[in-house]
Structure 1
Amino acid sequence: MEFSIKSGSPEKQRSACVVVGVFEPRKLTLAAELLDNAAHNHISDIVRRGDMEGKAGSTLLLHNVPGTLCDRVLLVGLGKEKEFGDKEFGDAIRSAVKTLNETGAFDGTVFLTETSVRKRTCAWRVRQAAIVAQETVYRFDQYKSKKDKVRRPLRKLTFIVDRRNELAAAEEALKQGQAIAEGMSLAKDLGNLPPNVCNPAHLAETARELANEHKIDCQIIERDEMADLGMHSLLAVARGSHQPPKLIVLHYRGGKADDKPVVLVGKGITFDTGGISLKPAPEMDEMKYDMCGAASVIGTIKAAALLKLPLNLTVIVPASENMPGGSATRPGDIVTSMSGQTIEILNTDAEGRLILCDALTFADRFAPEVLIDIATLTGACVIALGHVASGLYANNDGLARELLHAGDEAHDRAWQMPLWNDYQEALKSPFADMANVGNRAGGSITAACFLARFTKKHSWAHLDIAGTAWKSGVDKGATGRPVSLLVHYLLKRLGLLS
């Protein structure tokens, strides 16, 4: 979709549709009032009759509004003005874009970006509007023989800012929002692909194509080299699959040659049966989403390259399937990780931490300034936090705060969980340096404690996105989270958010 920024009065817009807001109960926003004045109270008369109460998410499309130059006016309900915050703003943009896309309007001029949101700048509103708009029109229908037809899909959106001196900041925010949205779309595409297509080799090929397109360095490490490196924990997971594992390494070099990189590690289990510790059949199809950590870091490096961010960013993706079979790892097996630490595998369905620990050790060679891993790691995190917030663990409180603030800014939120040494007791093994699982209590925490044993040299954080990476039910599909959080984090590090 094409986007632009401008400043102007709503009644003077030559557009297929002008979008303005209405608060509950029946209170016009400033832009709606200006339109109403030009229309000689035509809009306020309609609102007064009860056609639009202003309830959040409601819309009313008006044709041939007198005194205006546009074909249509779309009224969007914003809910109560005192409660209008981040979520409500996003919902209003989503409702507007969905309606525009369904009505056949080729373009729209959106005045909702003029509407104040508590503690948020004009740039924030524009950035979020671009992200939400792209999310709303996103479709994954490439495997449908008959695609859902949109009469005349929305092609262009113009976001209005109320002050001309805000145009430059809004333009930059728009670029950021578009780049984030593109990174999220790539992550969603990868997550939504069927597992017979999106296997480790496909992830590797996607990384190569991205690297070629954006001048990113790419290295694909194969099984034999992993064995030479001592990655026996990662290889243990891959033993039951016919698909060979891949270790994907991408380097975006936008900073100085001697700048230490931010390193992102994404879990890339392209399908997770649980291995010998087989999962129950219901909803096992959703285990194609177990590579959404990998998808998110690949989407993030794409956004960084699109924005030409002045930093060095390295992405590492350990990619494998977790399958049962005659060669599959058994509960009770002991493997030696790349770090030299031994692991007793008590549950083969706790495989994410087994591939991540070797990837995190591999990251040592890049001397990261910051090391962050992202993984659909535990069902326990879903029980703890539901589908709203990602679980955040960190060995550095400053890094944790930066990620929490970035998540708040992005409305892609995380919640910090404890990483106390008390929980390490659960990982004791009588036969190896550690077990790969503890008991059921605090399962997300003990998983993070396992990873913490491989990251002591670095400022490290872990994001458990098991509850936020995809949706089930009618809206089933990958969400693209936490690409927005990660890009906002990078932008904030660079002082590029306004």
Structure 2
Amino acid sequence: MEYFVKSGNPEKQRVSCLIVGVFERRTLTPMAEIIDLASDGLLSSVLRRGDMDGKPGTTLVLHNVPGTLADRVMLVGLGRERNLDEASYRKALAASSKALQATGAIDAASYLTHLSIKNRDYQWNVKQAVLISQDTLYRFDACRGAKAREELSPSKLERYTFDVPRRSDLPAGESGAKEALAIAHGTALAKTLANLPGNICTPAYLAEQARQLAENTGSITTRVLEQADMQALGMGALLAVASGSRQPPKLIIMEYLHGAADEKPIVLVGKGLTFDAGGISIKPSAAMDEMKFDMCGGASVFGTLQAIAELKLPMNVVGIVPSSENLPDGQAVKPGDIVTSMSGQTIEVLNTDAEGRLILCDALTYAEQTYDPAYCIDMATLTGACVVALGSIASGLMSNHSPLGRALLAAGEQIGDRAWELPLWPEFDENLKSEFADIANIATKGAREAGAIIGGTFLHRFTKKMKWAHLDIAGTAWQGKRASGRPVPLLVQYLINTQARRTDE
């Protein structure tokens, strides 16, 4: 798929499909009015007949509209004009992209990017349009047979143009399209890795994909620490989780170092549990297949690194993915076992299904001791409690550094990949007291209270020397049976903003 940003009159576009908006109560947008005038009132006539009323997310395709050079004109419902906001704009983009795939058009020009969204510019408009188009086009059929893949024929769309009002708006629109494509490619990589089943996407497979990413980009260096390396480093928490699996654990390190030599890196740490059965504290069988998604945090690190490599951002970023499986076995860690983390803190494992924090804590200590990062951000499908608290709309955010937390929240709002901040107060530390070790891996009092915060509080015990943030993506990393690719958009937007701020300074 090729994307273009242009500025031109809608009735002069020689394309397979021309896309314009209609507000509720049969009110044409300015671009739709131009088409209506060129066609001697055809659009107004269609609206009067009631074929389209402008309700949000509705579409109507008209063929051979007089006065235009397009094969089709698609009308897209926008809802009430006074209610047009970011959410309704995205809904209109999604509806038009989905309807466009069904038309068989090979090229299209959209004028929805002319719409005025409060506090947003045309760079943002085009960026959202490309992101949503790419999301609509994404398919995962790697595990289907050849015949099934052939039957699920891809979209015929080859060229998609987004129009902006003036030629002076072209640079902004082109910048938005470029950033969106990189984010979309990174998001697609994260989705594909996460959608793969656990028998294919093992820790070794992830490690090989990291090496492949380095080869493909030419700007990333990959290293993989093996089980013996982790033993030498004293990563007793990570190794405890892996002890029940025949798949050896991997600590995957991807370095993108293209900033100043003295610039401390931003380190991203993503949970890479390629399958989580809960260990000895085994999960219920219902929906256990979805536990292949327990590596979505790690997948988002892959996607983010690919995106910034494509954008060639001049900064230093390191991605770390601790990867293992969590399975029941005669050698698996047991409830009540005490393990020693790389930091030297001992951990009483009261529930083997609270394993993500165990593999992350050693990776976070490694990040601190090896890279002394400017900022450290971890992301993990950590707690079901976060799903209860925030659902699938927002990721949970906790941070020990307010400016970092605010920057992540702002990036999420900007790109449409939201997070919501939860408190990280010292009072929560009391919940993790252990009778026998430095810390327990689950709450020892108030067991049903503040589960997402307790998970973040555990990780904070290993990050107090860093400016750190934690993203709990348990509710946002997948929807139904499909990976979402989140929080790749949030992370990439945060890094773009960080680099832009450094440049301005």
- Residue equivalent to 1:252: 256
Structure 2 residue runs of 5 or longer lacking an equivalent are: none
- Residue equivalent to 2:8: 8
Question: Take 1:151 and 1:485, find their aligned partners in 2: how far apart are those partners?
Answer: 28
- Residue equivalent to 2:94: 94
Amino acid across the alignment from 2:341:
S
Question: Take 2:479 and 2:155, find their aligned partners in 1: how far apart are those partners?
Answer: 28
Report runs of 4+ in structure 1 exceeding 4 Å deviation. Answer: none
- Residue equivalent to 1:71: 71
Matched, 1:464 2:493: no
- Conserved 8 A contact 1:437-1:447: yes
Measured after TM superposition, the shift of residue 149 of structure 1 is 3.2
Question: Percent identity between the aligned chains?
Answer: 56
- Residue equivalent to 1:104: 104
- Residue equivalent to 2:288: 284
SS in structure 1 of the partner of residue 500 of structure 2: coil
State which of 431, 455, 460 in structure 1 corresponds to 2:463: 455
- Residue equivalent to 1:180: 183
Alignment of 1:18-33 (within 5 A): 18-33=18-33
Matched length = 495
- Residue equivalent to 2:122: 122
- Conserved 8 A contact 1:102-1:153: no
- Residue equivalent to 1:408: 413
Matched, 1:45 2:48: no
Measured after TM superposition, the shift of residue 106 of structure 1 is 0.7
Question: Take 2:385 and 2:121, find their aligned partners in 1: how far apart are those partners?
Answer: 36
SS in structure 1 of the partner of residue 321 of structure 2: strand
Measured after TM superposition, the shift of residue 152 of structure 1 is 5.4
Question: Take 1:10 and 1:333, find their aligned partners in 2: how far apart are those partners?
Answer: 69
Question: Take 2:83 and 2:296, find their aligned partners in 1: how far apart are those partners?
Answer: 33
- Residue equivalent to 2:234: 230
Question: Take 1:494 and 1:44, find their aligned partners in 2: how far apart are those partners?
Answer: 48
Q: How big is each residue's C-alpha offset from its partner over 1:320-373, in whole Å with a ceiling of 9 and x where there is no partner?
A: 000000110000000000000000000000000000000000001101000000
State which of 196, 206, 228 in structure 2 corresponds to 1:203: 206
Alignment of 1:6-405 (within 5 A): 6-145=6-145, 146-147=148-149, 148-150=151-153, 153-215=156-218, 216-364=220-368, 365-405=370-410
* TM-score (structure 1 length as normaliser): 0.98
- Conserved 8 A contact 2:137-2:155: no
Amino acid across the alignment from 2:320:
I
Question: Take 1:273 and 1:440, find their aligned partners in 2: how far apart are those partners?
Answer: 21
Amino acid across the alignment from 1:481:
R
Amino acid across the alignment from 1:9:
N
Q: How big is each residue's C-alpha offset from its partner over 1:460-485, in whole Å with a ceiling of 9 and x where there is no partner?
A: 0000000000011xxx2000000000
- Conserved 8 A contact 1:271-1:289: yes
Amino acid across the alignment from 2:141:
D
- Residue equivalent to 2:487: 482
- Conserved 8 A contact 1:104-1:151: no
Amino acid across the alignment from 1:335:
V
Structure 1 residue runs of 5 or longer lacking an equivalent are: none
Measured after TM superposition, the shift of residue 259 of structure 1 is 0.8
SS in structure 2 of the partner of residue 494 of structure 1: helix
Measured after TM superposition, the shift of residue 153 of structure 1 is 2.0
Amino acid across the alignment from 1:109:
A
Measured after TM superposition, the shift of residue 257 of structure 1 is 1.3
- Conserved 8 A contact 1:265-1:356: yes
- Conserved 8 A contact 2:22-2:28: yes
- Conserved 8 A contact 1:102-1:151: no
Question: Take 1:412 and 1:310, find their aligned partners in 2: how far apart are those partners?
Answer: 24
SS in structure 1 of the partner of residue 102 of structure 2: helix
* TM-score (structure 2 length as normaliser): 0.97
- Residue equivalent to 1:434: 439
- Conserved 8 A contact 1:394-1:400: yes
Amino acid across the alignment from 1:245:
P
SS in structure 2 of the partner of residue 400 of structure 1: helix
Question: Take 1:240 and 1:64, find their aligned partners in 2: how far apart are those partners?
Answer: 64
SS in structure 1 of the partner of residue 162 of structure 2: strand
Q: How big is each residue's C-alpha offset from its partner over 1:379-423, in whole Å with a ceiling of 9 and x where there is no partner?
A: 000000011000000001111110000000011000000100111
Question: Take 2:152 and 2:385, find their aligned partners in 1: how far apart are those partners?
Answer: 40
Q: How big is each residue's C-alpha offset from its partner over 1:160-208, in whole Å with a ceiling of 9 and x where there is no partner?
A: 0001111011111110000000000000000100110001011101100
How large is the Cα RMSD of the aligned pairs?
Answer: 1.2
Measured after TM superposition, the shift of residue 310 of structure 1 is 1.0
Question: Take 2:159 and 2:473, find their aligned partners in 1: how far apart are those partners?
Answer: 32
Measured after TM superposition, the shift of residue 430 of structure 1 is 0.9
- Conserved 8 A contact 1:199-1:270: yes
Question: Take 1:220 and 1:447, find their aligned partners in 2: how far apart are those partners?
Answer: 27
- Conserved 8 A contact 1:21-1:78: yes
SS in structure 2 of the partner of residue 109 of structure 1: strand
Q: How big is each residue's C-alpha offset from its partner over 1:305-328, in whole Å with a ceiling of 9 and x where there is no partner?
A: 000001100000000000000110
Measured after TM superposition, the shift of residue 237 of structure 1 is 0.2
SS in structure 1 of the partner of residue 11 of structure 2: helix
Measured after TM superposition, the shift of residue 253 of structure 1 is 1.3
